[in-house]
Amino acid sequence: MLENYRPHWMNDELDAVRDLARRFVAGQVTPHQERWYEAGATDRAPWKAAGAVGLLCPDISAEYGGGGGTFAHVALLAHELCVAGDASWRPGQQIHLIAAHYIERYGTEAQKRRWLPGLCSGELIGAMGMTEAGGGTDLQSMRTRAAMTAVGYTIDGAKTFITNGSIADLLILAAKTDPSERAKGVSLFIVETKTPGFRVGRRLRKIGLHGSDTCELFFDACEVPPDALLGGVEGQGFYQMMRDLVYERALAGVNCAAVMQHAFEVTRDYVRDRKIFGKTLHDLQHPRFEIAEVKTLATIARVFTDFTVERMLDGTMTASLASMSKWWISEQQFSVVNRCLQLFGGHGYMLEYPIARMFVDARIEPIYAGSNEILKELIGRSE
């Protein structure tokens, strides 16, 4: 897209990681996309394959079985998945990685040693249990309860819109340990999905991301031991979630910028080949102008993304900058994909064309990881 462009944060070691990620995606992801799309979920093969080469949890410490890398390693894998058109395994892999991050950042040493090796190898699949049907972004008002007992906690409640919900082995679950408090009443738990009282509800039908499973989850007198409490201290969950959303939002910006690049490339190729009125679309001024504008927007998004990667690497990323990256790039992604689809005409409405799937997949980006309206409010308050 940008001729001879190389981000400042790249180096020879990261070049090798990018090449490894590219080979992994070509061999372990791309050939299976259609099958996952039809099945509504991935199988376990890519998780274990990624774990075997250190890509599943690339920035988790090697001490616990991870790749021992940085956010740059995560961004490279995300980019390669997006420009290859994957919207099946990528959402689940990133949620899995975020779950692992919660354990590494906030867990006790015993929790880290118990759970992280399996998450890093792909023997275990992780998920995040936060959103509720009546709450959405308002995590302080969640209704799932965790009541202390003589032998641990009893959890009752329900979650929805849970990525990896039907295939996960463990959840980072948010629940109220003190219903009289809002933020201070929220705690996080590591819950195995084989725990009695846990059940998976229906797999939800979405307008996009058809290859990534999204489910309802239910907890009916689900009993967990005391050491299921993440970090061993009640009342820290809301603050842990707020801190980790910076990482999630920065990653969302990386995804959206890469999808914009992919949309530009497939559309550029299409208008060069598509004949109409004896000419290619590229011979006509309006399609050329559209391609010019799309390329410009995609380039700006990529440069903005690389700036946020640098801030993640040097430790200067802020909640405000992560929110700006996520909301602006996700809005631009949806606009760019829509404009690209228009150039495909009727073909763009057919799901056999990548641009059609990008269009329906893009609609979720302004919603998850914090709706863009909420993010603008957070940015405005920070000024």
Distance CA 167, CA 145 (A): 23
Using the predicted structure, report yes or no on whether residue 138 has a pLDDT greater than 90: no
Is beta strand 198-203 parallel, antiparallel or unpaired with respect to 214-224? antiparallel
* Residue with tokens 């056999």, as numbered in its chain: 352
- The 10s digit of each residue's pLDDT in 154-187 is 999 999 999 999 999 999 999 999 999 999 999 9
Using the predicted structure, report yes or no on whether residue 5 has a pLDDT greater than 90: no
Contacts (Cβ under 8 Å, ≥6 apart) of 328: 304
Residue 224 region by backbone torsions, left for phi larger than 0, else alpha for psi between -120 and 50, else beta: beta
**CA angle in degrees (0–180, nearest 5) for 232-214-250:** 65
- Are 174 and 180 within 8 A, CB to CB? no
In DSSP terms, 224 is beta-bridged to 153
- The 10s digit of each residue's pLDDT in 248-266 is 999 999 999 999 999 999 9
Q: pLDDT band at 340, cuts 50/70/90? A: very high
The token duo for 276 is 């109409």
Respond yes or no: is residue 248 known to be catalytic: yes
How many angstroms separate the Cα of 262 from the Cα of each of 32, 132, 272, 375?
Answer: 19, 33, 16, 26
Work out the average pLDDT over 254-283: 96
Using the predicted structure, report yes or no on whether residue 203 has a pLDDT greater than 80: yes
Distance CA 49, CA 16 (A): 18
DSSP 348-380: GGSTTSHHHHHHHHHTTTTTSSS-HHHHHHHHH
Query: Per the residue annotation, which of 248, 352, 377, 383 is the catalytic one?
Result: 248
Average pLDDT over the chain, rounded to an integer:
96
The token duo for 117 is 């090796």
Work out the average pLDDT over 195-222: 97
Q: pLDDT band at 1, cuts 50/70/90? A: low
Work out the average pLDDT over 138-151: 90
Looking at residue 136, what is its pLDDT?
A: 65
* Residue with tokens 């309860």, as numbered in its chain: 145
Looking at residue 223, what is its pLDDT?
A: 97
Distance CA 333, CA 349 (A): 18
- The 10s digit of each residue's pLDDT in 290-326 is 999 999 999 999 999 999 999 999 999 999 999 999 9
Rg of the chain over CA atoms, in angstroms?
Answer: 21
- The 10s digit of each residue's pLDDT in 30-63 is 999 999 999 999 999 999 999 999 999 999 999 9
Looking at residue 137, what is its pLDDT?
A: 65
**CA angle in degrees (0–180, nearest 5) for 76-327-240:** 75
- Are 47 and 96 within 8 A, CB to CB? yes
In DSSP terms, 279 is beta-bridged to 276
Please state the pTM of the whole predicted model: 0.95
Share of the chain above pLDDT 90, in %: 93
